[in-house]
């Protein structure tokens, strides 16, 4: 057996794959120089209609899917010093509708803070009690 829901379709059945090359700007961690590199991607374009054999679950999944790009290249060779380095992994998947107006890093971080911070209580709960409160009373009966 392969998947727990045996009948549901693999995500790849919903997309048409198109290879493409995009320029990416990356900074070499060794020499700190930034250059453009041709990076191979595959563009997953959502199909016009559901493939045959789709069930209700597939229909719901299909409705939520968006076109995206998946990076194939994992590393590049620095044009300046020849050192091979890894492309940061947070750049390995992009939704096509993000390509138009990519938010800058600051906006992104503010969003992350807003999403994770607000409702959470401070991790440090209470200060330790001073010793005089925890020390055992002596003498009294």
Q: Which residues bind Zn ion (CB under 5 A)?
A: 28, 30-31, 78, 80-81, 83
> What's the min distance (Å) between Cβ of 88 and Zn ion?
15
Nearer to Zn ion, 69 or 76 (CB): 76
* 3 state DSSP class of 27: strand
Nearer to Zn ion, 23 or 134 (CB): 23
Nearer to Zn ion, 87 or 96 (CB): 87
Going across the sheet that includes 34-46, the strands are 15-27, 34-46, 68-71, 93-95
Nearer to Zn ion, 28 or 69 (CB): 28
> What's the min distance (Å) between Cβ of 85 and Zn ion?
7
Gyration radius of the chain's alpha carbons: 26
> What's the min distance (Å) between Cβ of 30 and Zn ion?
4
CA atoms within 13 A on the CB side of 12: 4
Report CA-CA distances (Å) from 52 to 58, 65, 67. Answer: 11, 17, 20
> What's the min distance (Å) between Cβ of 24 and Zn ion?
15
Q: How far apart are CA 41 and CA 92, in angstroms?
A: 9
């Amino acid at each position: 057996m392969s998947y727990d829901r045996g009948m549901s379709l693999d995500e790849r059945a919903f997309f048409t794959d198109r290879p493409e090359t995009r320029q990416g700007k990356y900074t070499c961690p060794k020499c700190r120089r930034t250059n453009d590199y041709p990076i191979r991607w595959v563009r997953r374009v959502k199909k016009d209609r559901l493939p045959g054999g789709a069930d209700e679950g597939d229909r719901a999944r299909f409705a939520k899917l968006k076109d995206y790009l998946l990076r194939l290249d994992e590393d590049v060779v620095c044009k300046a010093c020849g050192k091979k380095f890894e492309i940061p992994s947070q750049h390995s998947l992009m939704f096509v509708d993000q390509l138009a107006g990519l938010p800058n890093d600051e906006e992104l971080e503010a969003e992350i803070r807003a999403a994770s911070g607000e409702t959470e209580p401070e991790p440090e709960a209470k200060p330790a009690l001073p010793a005089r409160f925890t020390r055992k009373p002596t003498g009294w009966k």
